[in-house]
C-alpha cells in the first residue's frame, strides 16, 4: 500500500517529495495527514513482510558473471590482507 502511494519508509524514516509545487500549503497539510495516518495505521503482517522483501530485493540486485567473479576476488583479497595484518 505504501509503495503504491510513492512513499519510502525504511528503518523508521519516511521521505516525501514535492518539486516546484504550486499548492505548497495543501501539500504540507497532506504530509501531516500522512504522518498521522502512519502513526495509527494497523498494517497486516503480510503487507509489512511484502514491503520488506520488496525493499531488500531492490537493494540486492543480481550480478553478471564477470561482476560476481570480481566481487569474490576482492572479498578474498581483503580477507587475505586482514589475515596478514593480524599476523604482524
70 found inside a domain: no
Please give the pLDDT value at position 1. Answer: 43
54 found inside a domain: yes
37 found inside a domain: yes
35 found inside a domain: yes
24 found inside a domain: yes
The residue range of the domain holding 40 is: 2-62
For every residue of 5-60, DSSP letters joined together read HT-EEETTEEE---SS-TTHHHHHHHHHHHHHHHHH----HHHHHHHHHHHHHHHS
For 8-43, write each residue's pLDDT tens digit.
555 566 778 888 889 889 988 988 898 888 888 888
pTM over 0.75: no
Residue 2: which residues within 8 A CB-CB, separation 6 or more? 9, 51
pLDDT exceeds 60 at position 60: yes
Confidence of residue 7 (pLDDT cuts 50, 70, 90): low
Amino acid at each position: 500500500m505504501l509503495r503504491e502511494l510513492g512513499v519510502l519508509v525504511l528503518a523508521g524514516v519516511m521521505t516525501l517529495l514535492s518539486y516546484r509545487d504550486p499548492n505548497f500549503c495543501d501539500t504540507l497539510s497532506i504530509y501531516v495527514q500522512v504522518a498521522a495516518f502512519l502513526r495509527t495505521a494497523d498494517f497486516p503482517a503480510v503487507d509489512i513482510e511484502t514491503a520488506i522483501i520488496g525493499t531488500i530485493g531492490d537493494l540486492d540486485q543480481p550480478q553478471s558473471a564477470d561482476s560476481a567473479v570480481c566481487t569474490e576476488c576482492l572479498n578474498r583479497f581483503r580477507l587475505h590482507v586482514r589475515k596478514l595484518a593480524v599476523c604482524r
